[in-house]
Amino acid sequence: MQVVSIISTKGGVGKTTTAANLGGIAADAGLRVLLLDLDVQPTLSSYFTLHSHAPGGIYELLAFNEQDHARLISHTVIDGLDLILSNDDKGQLNTLLLHAPDGRLRLRNLLPAFRPHYDLLLIDTQGARSVLLEMAVLASDLALSPVTPEILAAREFRRGTLQLMQDIAPYRRLGIEPPPLQLLINRVHPVSANARLIQHALHDLFATEPGIVVLDTRIPAVEAYPRASTQAQPVHRVEYRRPKGRVTPAAFDTMRTLACELFPAWESAFNQLRAGAHRRVGR
Ligand SMILES: Nc1ncnc2c1ncn2[C@@H]1O[C@H](COP(=O)(O)OP(=O)(O)O)[C@@H](O)[C@H]1O
Ligand SMILES: [Mg+2]
């Protein structure tokens, strides 16, 4: 089971959108996917229509070490796409974990119970520094961080996310290697030359940071992303063909390219996906 946390100390950069769409395309490619919504605001929890709603969620998982999957795991209407709901509406988990001796390692210690059942665990997080965020990163094989191509976002990234990675580095002494950080440039406006310049600047800025990879795949700013979320569908099902007169590739192609870049081991599964195969699934 690959564990990926989607992180940024900034809100609105596309974390939840990326988690939902990556989870959706991976499930459609035949992988068994579990989404974990660690955001206090349960945006990912309400992205997809649920086929069955478990009584528990992250609160029971993290506060009570609930082991019974039937009480924890909800199922979305998408085959192979399961979800542990965010239900920490009072925001108690952070304080609880802050004072627990195993706080930042609790999720990591709980993963063995999920490993046999899933190929991919995607963790969506809140856009702020917190114990929960550090816990998610320490449980991950890879941290994926969307960043929008504005210089302000880049500065915030350097200040927030890089600091977070530095702060968890001492866990190396316990034999826990912090995961590599992969940067996903999201919401690129295709026509603006200025945006392209900033993109190159971002590339140079982060290429010199050790342990950080800037992904080749960039996500264009297209209305298909908010539209897909309104339709409770992953975007590759919604925009499977490039609209006439647009240069930017179809979201189907973007998401497949991203999935292949992130998970080369599953490339053939992603390449077997057929554009538009789920046309009639939308409701
Ligand atoms: N590539 C994109 N193109 C257009 N809109 C996007 C794109 N990525 C995200 N959005 C929109 O931006 C808003 C914020 O995204 P979201 O994933 O909720 O951010 P976060 O989880 O980081 O707070 C949402 O309305 C989403 O639909
Ligand atoms: Mg979010």
Q: What is the pLDDT of residues 139-167, one digit of tens each?
A: 999 999 998 887 667 777 778 888 899 99
Are 275 and 241 spatial neighbours (Cβ–Cβ below 8 Å)? yes
Q: What is the Å distance from ligand 2's center to 10 Cα?
A: 10
Asked if the structure places residue 103 within a domain, the reply is yes
Asked if the structure places residue 164 within a domain, the reply is yes
Asked if the structure places residue 166 within a domain, the reply is yes
Atom of ligand 1 nearest to the CA of 229: 27
Mean pLDDT computed over every residue of the chain? 92
Distances (CA, A) of 70 to 75, 129, 242, 279: 10, 31, 40, 31
For residue 131, the model assigns a pLDDT of 95
Asked if the structure places residue 281 within a domain, the reply is no
217 lines ligand 1 (CB under 6 A): no
Overall domain count for the chain: 1
Asked if the structure places residue 283 within a domain, the reply is no
The number of angstroms, rounded, from the C-alpha of 72 to the middle of its chain's C-alpha atoms is 20
User: Nearest to residue 39, comparing CAs of 54, 21, 23, 19?
Assistant: 19
Select from 35, 225, 255 the residue to mutate for testing ligand 1; criterion: most ligand atoms less than 8 Å from CB. 225
CATH number of the domain that residue 171 is part of = 3.40.50.300
5 lines ligand 1 (CB under 6 A): no
For residue 141, the model assigns a pLDDT of 97
The number of angstroms, rounded, from the C-alpha of 223 to the middle of its chain's C-alpha atoms is 19
User: Nearest to residue 108, comparing CAs of 231, 12, 3, 24?
Assistant: 3
Asked if the structure places residue 191 within a domain, the reply is yes
14 lines ligand 1 (CB under 6 A): yes
Question: Which of the ligands is closest to the CA of residue 9?
Answer: 1
178 lines ligand 1 (CB under 6 A): no
Asked if the structure places residue 223 within a domain, the reply is yes
| Rounded CA separation 18/125 (Å) | 11
H/E stretch holding 117 reads: none
| Rounded CA separation 270/258 (Å) | 10
Per the structure, the complete domain to which residue 22 belongs is given by 2-264
Q: What is the pLDDT of residues 8-44, one digit of tens each?
A: 988 899 999 999 999 999 999 999 999 999 999 999 9
For residue 29, the model assigns a pLDDT of 97
Asked if the structure places residue 21 within a domain, the reply is yes
For residue 10, the model assigns a pLDDT of 87
Q: What is the pLDDT of residues 83-117, one digit of tens each?
A: 999 999 999 999 999 999 999 999 999 999 999 99
Q: What is the Å distance from ligand 2's center to 45 Cα?
A: 10
